[in-house]
Structure 1
Amino acid sequence: MKKITVLLLSSALILGACSNEKEVAEETPEANDAAASSENKEGEKNSEGGVNVDKGLFNVEVTLPAELFEGGDTETVVANAKQQGIDEATLNEDGSVTYKMSKSKHEELMAELAKSVEEAKTDIVESGDFPSIKEVKTNKDYDKFTISVDREAFENSMDGFATMSIGMVGSYYQAFNGIDAADMKVELELEDAATGEVFNTIVYPEALEEVEE
């Protein structure tokens, strides 16, 4: 349980349940240096009619809405994001936060998020904190999970808290993958391990809104 909490808190410093992502073509000092060091190679490729675009020439911007940070310290969130290697983290007038990073950093974050999801899945099953949960399966996009449980034990325990961990890390992955807030959907199916019956379906981030109500 402790490990899962750490995963969520570390992710929450820079991630959220919804985002608006766009790529901006922008030259940087690093990109200029890279271009200078590979001038001859680029010339050869261009002379052949092909164009080789270095991913470092593009920045990725992700804006997380103000609702995500309600009750939190946004200044700390911004500071921690910069410590994580984000080029810019700006607190906007409406309370939203915009992150700007290199394309390579964005790809790195996506890989880290995928790793966090896999670690959460493993820890939920193997930690012993949620004994009724037998297996957690997911698709490659991390927007659909099947959680196989001992139904009776699950329904008579607090193991349902584990679904929040899965729903949150799945939502973080969707957010940074550029899924629009209106289209974001992380579906968790609760499956009876004995019968294979899906007896409940939880959808994030809708589930968070229901909790607030």
Structure 2
Amino acid sequence: MSSAYDQSRYQVRFEWGAAGLARLAPAEVVVVVDVLLGTTTAVDAGAAGDEVPLASLDPALAEVVAAAGDAVVLLASLRNASAVAREVLAEQERRAARTSIAVIAVGDGPRFAVEDQFGAGAVIDALTALGIDHTSPEAAGAGEAFHGLRRAMRHLLTASASGQELLDGGRRDEVLAAAEVDAVDVVPARRGDVFACA
């Protein structure tokens, strides 16, 4: 039974965390976005063929992955947003049918994490550029937030609450690296109990 919050009328949907994913209509592809915690580590784990165990993921990230059920699950950040969008398009071509996509920003527990909104928006913006543009208003808003502020990502990430916390912990290089849009082409995809980097 559909609800006002499930975004089922749209191909590309956007929500926050495991609870948000549960509100959405089931999707065939779930893109999990975490910009400053576990995804960046997974994305930078190595070249194609490398594996990242599910058990090594940040707990909030792992919770969203577990909630995705049997969907194709891809990990995204700012660093691989366009590569993830290309992989979603390839998955749709393999299915030879319009494919539903849920883009889920992990967030920071109960706190809104602006960097994850930008990461999700980067994926949505890249999907739109590839012609996958039937987006919910929620997804369109995230995409436009990234699109309009793309050139300010470095500043926005270092100035964000999460970025400031990492800077205070001596992790400035991690934050600056996380702000690099499309720096890598690696796309971690769930394969059993690991993410295989393609």
- Per the TM superposition, whether the score is higher than 0.5 is no
Larger Rg: 1
**TM bucket normalised to smaller:** under 0.3
TM-score by length of 1: 0.25
Q: Which has the higher strand share?
A: 1
